[in-house]
Copies of this chain bind each other. A is one copy, B any other.
Amino acid sequence: MMSKKRPLILAVNDDGITAPGIQAMVAAAQELAEVVVVAPDSPQSGMGHAITLNKPLRLDKVSYHGESIGYQCSGTPVDCVKIAIDKILDRKPDLVISGINHGANHSINVIYSGTMSAAMEGAIEGIPSVGFSLLNYALDADFTASKHFVKMIIKNMLHFGMPTGTLLNVNIPDLPLDQIKGVKICRQANAKWEEEFDERLDPHNRKYYWLTGAFANYDKGADTDVWALNNGYVSAVPVQFDLTAHHAMPRLNDWDLG
């Protein structure tokens, strides 16, 4: 007797296997698929698309009261995706899901985010991939609404796939489910961090610096992820890893290049 295989989903994040965000995401995904978790063994926020080249990686199974939870890897979120595909999974997963990040990854944050870079790595591997983030940094944030939208997006992604060369960046406002107006397909807002380094002196009188910054949105459009989130919507931005600025090529062909 043949049975239709349940879909296989690889779940990753940048906050580690014990983060409430990934637990909520996995709980939602398990209603639809078999889920394998491979997460970093240390916090990897802001790691972007870093990979580990100068040292080897460790990979360990993790269980809780005898029940297998998944794997921990000593590398970056992107390393987790690579090693999961090469060494852990026995077939190509149907989806890669990353998150739920504790904190926003809208607008320019897609570039700095370990969560989104893990999803991007899944897309580079040709797997429909999505990163989820909740606009709440607290460890005890309420993921009830997030789980609802994680399940909705996964369902669609299993059914429709993703357009070639793209992944999805989903941000969820920090609101109860009945106050969220729906999901909006958006573009990345033109925004950035205005950095300021906080300069301090250590006990030996040597300077050190903490990166701090204020988020600045320069985009007045009502079709951006920042607008959607500010107006009570879940934002979903299709993201691509072909970074070519095709529109800029004609101007560069005017240059004096000998």
Contact = CB atoms under 8 A, between A and B. Distances in A.
Given A86-B196, A120-B111, A183 B48 contact: no
Most-contacted residue by chain B among A52, A56, A163 (CB, 10 A): A56
A236 interface: yes
Most-contacted residue by chain B among A54, A182, A185 (CB, 10 A): A185
A201 B151 CA distance: 40
A243 B245 contact: no
B49 A163 contact: no
A226 to B, nearest CB: 13
Contacts of A206: 58
Give the oligomeric copy count: 2
Interface stretch (A18-26, A28-36, A247-255): A247-255
A251 B124 CA distance: 19
Given A79-B211, A238-B249, A46 B50 contact: yes
13 contacts: A46-B51, A57-B197, A85-B195, A87-B197, A108-B124, A111-B120, A111-B243, A152-B258, A156-B257, A166-B248, A185-B253, A238-B244, A239-B244
